Structure 1
């Protein structure tokens, strides 16, 4: 079985373990899904908030952003984003001047943004998913908040770019995966994807979902439809060649990855080293 959502993932790991059902998570990034238990049924091919939060703190402070506000939703996902980003930001020398926990379905951010305007932060970090990121970004200009906006992989999808429109330009995001074209099998996958006639491009976690499904199917083909045998084989995964590169599980069945930086440029998420922002042809809001 494969799995995506952090909230559902952490709520169901006990059940999967009780029934001995092997699971490969491909998108949920809450660290506790793998690191918070000793369940040998639970595996994860994507990275965690730890990877993303650490890179975000280090990268943003190096860009000169020193004064921060965090707006995060009150789910486990949002609280986890706030926790790990805040911990690493302190180590990197940044300062959080205010934190605003909000409901994930909150529509109006006038009160929060009015306070943020008074605080004059360099950057607002969004700890939440696309709907929260879109609503917040859409209301920033109306209130007159000129801070840079950043968020981790929860907003790194086409939905944010479409929802925020032109205002999305220059938003920074962090994701455990590299651009699909950077992987050895990436172009072949994209060619097959296009040939299949899908209307939308694969999302940021699409390659991880594909890799998780392939990993499970290969395990079943090798040992048969036996849960215990599939679990034991998955637990020994090392140097497995997948769409997202080699999969190597640590002693908590967590794939070992590094995160990457992306920026919204001309309606697309662009790998930071390939962007005009990295080349100083365009400026972030601090600049």
Structure 2
């Protein structure tokens, strides 16, 4: 047998193996299907891991439902694949995660959770032509002019102002102390709260500072007690807010603790125990979920799937993923720039409300709900 005949014979024998190997390649399982990677960036470790996992679960539930009833784009059935990365709630780690997702050719990312991560990471996503949907509430998140950055909830301007208005009008607070944890989120929401508090006639007795790693707030609280404040507003996260409430009780500082969306979490009651109840109030973007038919049904599906109740932003992540998928179908495109333009020009009714974005990527209208705590869970009081 000549060398050429031998080579031809071997190639015929190897063809089935080559075909099998080709089928194992991503997106090559079928000419009629296409795998679409969806990235999630959030804190999956550390103090805020509960929130990162909840956000991831919101996306996961959406993808499982989309894969169960698949949609077609450009004649191909889409199969969505979750690619979740731990950004640790840290700006430097968040930038590394953004680059990793860009290198993996992920084109749609849900997250980050923290404003301080979202602001620097958005530059990487923008340069890579990716679409980012975040719950980072600091106004600076959407101020860089990136066309494909979307804030899928109310901003600090809306949340902080609503909490201040409620405190002045309904709680009749006259004199308040403010604490912020110096993160982009904590500073941003404290700034907005103070602006509206002053407009509403409240006196800001003092503004104190801590960190998002602190556990002892006794010196700050003792100082605020001496200033005879009627309430305290905390710009920060539940892992600090919960021990803060316990220490307030221990010091005999029997005033309300107010905060933003990050305190509207079962984690607050879990960590704070009996110290967290009607004395804690928080403001969160979105309408009262349990008052909506679709919201109650979502909560039931989430609990059945993950064996626990949804936390603060799982509904928003779920809704935005569904909005993106529906926009892919309508535009017949998987190009983030095409999908992004269409997101700006359309709206979507989700389980937590209606999503529509202005030119900067902010929600055109986003109701804010005030919550307190009862029996270890957030309970809605009013929506604005």
User: Corresponding residue for 1:261?
Assistant: 370
* Distance across 1 between alignment mates of 2:160 and 2:195: 8
Structure 2 stretches lacking a partner, 5+ long: 1-108
Confirm whether residue 50 of structure 1 aligns to residue 163 of structure 2: no
Structure 1 segment 81-100 matched on structure 2, within 5 A: 81-100=189-208
**Equivalent of 2:283, from 142, 166, 174?**
174
Q: Secondary structure at the match of 1:33?
A: helix
Structure 1 segments (4+ residues) deviating >3 Å: none
Shift of residue 193, structure 1, vs aligned partner: 2.2
Confirm whether residue 142 of structure 1 aligns to residue 214 of structure 2: no
* Distance across 2 between alignment mates of 1:236 and 1:213: 17
Q: Secondary structure at the match of 1:272?
A: strand
Shift of residue 273, structure 1, vs aligned partner: 4.5
Q: Which has the higher contact order (CA 8 A, sep 6+)?
A: 1
* Distance across 1 between alignment mates of 2:292 and 2:273: 29
Structure 1 segment 265-284 matched on structure 2, within 5 A: 265-273=374-382
**Equivalent of 1:6, from 115, 118, 121?**
115
Q: CA RMSD in A?
A: 1.6
Shift of residue 95, structure 1, vs aligned partner: 0.7
**Equivalent of 1:161, from 269, 287, 304?**
269
Q: In the TM superposition, what whole-angstrom CA distance separates every residue of 1:143-178 from its partner, at most 9, and x where no partner exists?
A: 221221111111110110111111101111111122
**Equivalent of 2:316, from 190, 208, 219?**
208
User: Corresponding residue for 2:125?
Assistant: 16
Contact 1:184 1:245 in 2 (8 A): no
Shift of residue 188, structure 1, vs aligned partner: 2.2
The 3 A distance-change label for structure 1 pair 19 and 31 is same
User: Corresponding residue for 1:33?
Assistant: 141
User: Corresponding residue for 1:282?
Assistant: none
User: Corresponding residue for 2:211?
Assistant: 103
The normalised TM-score by structure 1 is 0.89
Structure 1 stretches lacking a partner, 5+ long: 275-287
- Size of the alignment, in residue pairs? 270
User: Corresponding residue for 2:80?
Assistant: none
User: Corresponding residue for 1:248?
Assistant: 356
The normalised TM-score by structure 2 is 0.68
Contact 1:177 1:204 in 2 (8 A): no
The 3 A distance-change label for structure 1 pair 147 and 190 is closer
Which has more radius of gyration?
2
Q: Secondary structure at the match of 2:323?
A: helix
Q: In the TM superposition, what whole-angstrom CA distance separates every residue of 1:52-96 from its partner, at most 9, and x where no partner exists?
A: 111111110112111000111011111111111011111000011
Shift of residue 221, structure 1, vs aligned partner: 3.0
Shift of residue 241, structure 1, vs aligned partner: 1.7
Q: Secondary structure at the match of 2:180?
A: strand
Shift of residue 113, structure 1, vs aligned partner: 1.5
